[in-house]
Structure 1
Amino acid sequence: MGDPAGSQLRVRGLTAGYGAAPVLRGIDLDIDPGQIVAVVGANGAGKTTLLRTLSGLVEPTEGSMTWEGDELRGTRVHDLVRRGIAHVPEGRGVITELTVEENLRLGHVWRKDKDDARRATAEVFEFFEPLARRRRSPGHQLSGGERQMLAIGRALVARPRLLLLDEPSLGLAPKVTSQIMTLLKNLRDDTGLSVLLVEQNVRSAMSIADRGVVLSLGEVVVTDDAARIAEDDDLRHAYLGF
Structure 2
Amino acid sequence: MAPLLEVDELTCGYGPVSVLREVSFTVERGECVAVLGANGAGKTTLLRALSGLLRPTAGRIVYDGADLRGVPVEKVVRRGLAHVPEGRGVVAELTVDENLRLGGLWRPDRKDARTALAEVYELFDPLARRKGSVGHQLSGGERQMLALGRALVARPTLLLLDEPSLGLAPRVTAQILGLLTRLRERTGLTVLLVEQNVRSVLSVADRGVVLSVGRVALSAPAARLRDDDDLRHAYLGF
Q: Using structure 1 for the length normalisation, give the TM-score.
A: 0.96
CA offsets 1:154-192 (integer angstroms, 9 cap, x no match): 000000000000000001111111111111112222211
Distance 1:136 1:72 in 2: 37
* Residue matched to 1:184: 180
1:48-197 pair list within 5 angstroms: 48-197=44-193
Distance 1:224 1:196 in 2: 14
- The percent of aligned pairs where both chains have the same amino acid is 67
- In the TM superposition, residue 31 of structure 1 has moved relative to its aligned partner by 0.7
CA offsets 1:116-170 (integer angstroms, 9 cap, x no match): 1111111111111111111100000000000000000000000000000000000
Q: Is the 8 A contact 1:98 1:139 kept in 2?
A: yes
- In the TM superposition, residue 232 of structure 1 has moved relative to its aligned partner by 2.4
- In the TM superposition, residue 95 of structure 1 has moved relative to its aligned partner by 0.6
Pick one of 3, 16, 27 that aligns with 1:20.
16
Q: Is the 8 A contact 1:42 1:239 kept in 2?
A: no
Q: Is the 8 A contact 1:97 1:140 kept in 2?
A: yes
Q: Is the 8 A contact 1:42 1:241 kept in 2?
A: no
- In the TM superposition, residue 21 of structure 1 has moved relative to its aligned partner by 2.0
Distance 2:53 2:157 in 1: 19
- 1:55 partner letter: S
Q: Using structure 2 for the length normalisation, give the TM-score.
A: 0.98
CA offsets 1:174-226 (integer angstroms, 9 cap, x no match): 11111111111122222110000000111111111111101100000110101
CA offsets 1:67-89 (integer angstroms, 9 cap, x no match): 11110001111111110000000
1:198-213 pair list within 5 angstroms: 198-213=194-209
- 2:44 partner letter: T
Distance 2:227 2:42 in 1: 23
- In the TM superposition, residue 237 of structure 1 has moved relative to its aligned partner by 2.4
Q: Is the 8 A contact 1:16 1:59 kept in 2?
A: yes
- 1:78 partner letter: E
* Residue matched to 1:35: 31
Count of matched residue pairs: 238
Distance 1:138 1:68 in 2: 36
- 1:135 partner letter: K
- Unpaired segments ≥5 residues, structure 1: none
Q: SS of the counterpart of 1:108? A: coil
